[in-house]
Structure 1
Amino acid sequence: MVQEFSDDIQKSPDASNLVIITGMSGAGRTEAMHVFEDMGYYCIDNLPAGLIKNLLDMAHASNLQKKIAVVCDARNQSYFANLQGELENLQGRNIPFRVLFLDADDEKLVARYKASRRRHPMCAEGMTLAQGIAAERALLYGIRMMARDVVNTSDMMPRQLRSHIQRLYSDESVRGGLAVTVYSFGFKHGAPTDADIVIDVRFLPNPYYDSTLRPLTGLDAPVRDFVMARDETVNFLASWNSLLDTVMPGYVQEGKQQLAIAVGCTGGQHRSVAIAVATGEHLSTQGYRVSVTHRDLHLAESVRRSIYEEPPADEVGTLPSADEPDWA
């Protein structure tokens, strides 16, 4: 039975910079490696046990800033037999590490291999699949006894395994493991193609119609105050934040690693910028790891002048504002 964990699960206080991923073939080692990659680990698959020390020496010499996760398994039987001795050597050198051992019931392993139609690495000529699994289990017995974390994936879906590993090994909160990008854009410059959520805020009052606000952007206090103080905005943000609070935990539970939220107005200069910043601030207070960018802000009138050193608009005619209505 799969055990669900709350966001405040206790993490081990001595989480190390080296994780050895091993276990039964078909129990989820590849999926586990992908999880560590998404958490920022430097990952190597199918590393011969005798090269672990060389890898650590290389990482130290090159000042590698990432944590390391390596998959060592029975695919290379002659090399794998040395894994227990290599781990004992690391202990003797006082090099901290953790062993993640992935296991599953024999019936599940048989079913998974039959579904994948792949050959089990321990099946020598004339051996059945069940015999190969039994031989691997015997080979891994000593490593399993050394493992700090043993996870039985028999009843786990991939997303549940991902969530479990994140809770065991991530330095961040579970919500912090989801990288959220909030960006503003202008519909007149093209609708976004890479967003998971798109919100259109063109229904809000437009600062473009105030001549003193027209050359400014949503990052300027006068524009921000104009947008945020409106009753329409206050009501919208209450509903918008409530919607985010409803859907975001679902993305986390699903194991999603990256989420893009696009906030659009006409030109991407005023309303969308202010709302994107407010959205990022709200998600940050909820514990998510958020970046806020502005896709089309460089097209704004005031920014174009500073880049190209154009003369003021009243000397050359009025420049079109990025947030100017489409029909203007």
Structure 2
Amino acid sequence: MKQLIIVTGLSGSGKSIALHALEDSGYYCVDNLPATMLPQIAEHLQSENNRQDDSNTTNYDRVAISIDSRSVAIETLPAHIEQLKSQGITTQVLFLESNVETLVKRFSETRRKHPLSKDTTTLAESIAVERELLGDLGKLGHVIDTSYISANKLRAWIKDAVAHESSGLTLLFTSFGFKHGIPLDADFVFDIRCLPNPHYDLKLRDLTGLDAEVQTFLEGQANAQDMLNDIKNYIEKWLPSFISDNRSYLTVAIGCTGGQHRSVYFVEQLTKYFAPNQKVLTRHRELK
């Protein structure tokens, strides 16, 4: 096995969708594996891959495993991951997160029972227990907030995330609208709502920050360019510190009111600036 992706996170946050997206991308997938069995299954798949002949078409070079809060000894997962890395297996963690309101809505719509629910606890309380149980697992890898995104967008984000090499730091820029909530996976949040809003220009209202007309409008705003340069300088100054800290991802969220114009423009400009020298991912949460 050359590459292992571990999918974990809160129940209802989209782990099954993520695993299916990885399967579509050519990964051999194992669902709901106990954390204590991770070293054994990794060793088994690696040995199977080493002895496969031409008649065996299954490729175990790229494997994705889903582990959730029901797993036995979930707290041992970090140690098992370090063990796999020491064996030369490239291991990446995708942690799916979502806010309480969205999770409650999803469980209510599907009429599914939360895996940690009891007769004496509400759905919201079960979600809180699970969040505490998973603790700091999100720090092991890349956190994805699925609160306000569709299943199709999550599939696209997963495929983008695994398309990048897992070694080194990936700088992720995401645009969002404050009226839809702050992304839970953001390391830095920059509020640019104080800048002139193209929404109030009827010719620009139905466009986005991807359109040349909106870009021209914001390029003509001196304060918008000043703030953009300040954000560039801040990230450029502190990026080496995060790289030296062995971080896999650094997520920078840029927010305006609706997530359509200003934040999209800023993210595109930041991507263009940093991409020549750094691995960069771009997301626009509110754009369809």
Deviation at 1:65, TM superposition (A): 4.2
> Where in structure 2 are the equivalents of 1:221-240 lying within 5 Å?
none
Tell me, which stretches of 5 or more residues in structure 1 are unaligned?
1-15, 173-328
Counterpart CA distance in 1 for 2:88 and 2:21 is 27
Q: Which residue of 2 aligns with 1:46?
A: 32
Q: Does the residue aligned with 2:90 lie in a helix, a strand or coil?
A: coil
| Alignment correspondent of 2:95 | 101
**Offset of residue 59 of structure 1:** 1.7
Distance 1:95 1:61 in 2: 13
Kept in 2: contact 1:23–1:103 (CA 8 A): yes
Who is 2:5 aligned against?
Answer: 19
Q: Cα gap change, 1:65/1:45 in structure 2, threshold over 3 Å: closer, same or farther?
A: closer
User: 93, 104, 107: which one pairs with 1:110?
Assistant: 104
State the SS of the aligned residue for 2:94.
strand
1:171 to partner: Cα distance: 6.9
Partner of 1:202: none
Contact (CA 8 Å) 1:39, 1:170: kept in 2 or not?
A: no
Query: CA offsets, 1:139-163, max 9 Å, x none?
Result: 112211212x111011110110011
Matched residue SS, 1:20: strand
* Equivalent position SS for 1:118: coil
Change (3 A) 1:130 1:65: closer
The aligned amino acid for 1:71 is S
- Give, as a single letter, the amino acid of the residue that structure 2 aligns with 1:48: P
Give secondary structure in 1 for the equivalent of 2:64: strand
CA distance, structure 2, for counterparts of residue 17 and residue 162 of structure 1: 19
Q: With structure 2 as the length reference, what TM-score do the two structures score?
A: 0.51
Contact residue 20 and residue 98 of structure 1 kept, 8 A: yes
* 1:183 equivalent in structure 2: none
Alignment match, 2:161: 168
| 1:141 corresponds to 2:131 | no
- Give the equivalent residue in structure 2 for 1:81: 75
Aligned counterparts of 2:138 and 2:157: Cα–Cα separation in 1:
18
Q: Which residue of 1 aligns with 2:64?
A: 69
Root-mean-square deviation (CA, aligned residues, Å) is: 1.9
Identity %: 36
State how many pairs are aligned.
155
Instruction: Tell me the alpha carbon deviations over residues 241-300 of structure 1, each in whole angstroms, 9 at most, x when there is no partner.
Output: xxxxxxxxxxxxxxxxxxxxxxxxxxxxxxxxxxxxxxxxxxxxxxxxxxxxxxxxxxxx
> Where do residues 1-328 of structure 1 align in structure 2 (5 Å cutoff)?
17-63=3-49, 64-76=59-71, 78-147=72-141, 149-170=142-163
- Preserved CA contact (<8 Å) 2:8 2:94: yes
The two structures have a TM-score, normalised by structure 1, of 0.45
Runs of 5+ in structure 2 lacking a partner? 50-58, 166-288
Cα gap change, 1:82 to 1:125, in 2 (>3 Å): farther
- With over 3 angstroms needed to count, the CA separation of the structure-2 counterparts of 1:95 and 1:65, relative to structure 1, is closer
Point out which structure has higher relative CO (alpha carbons under 8 A, 6+ apart). Answer: 2
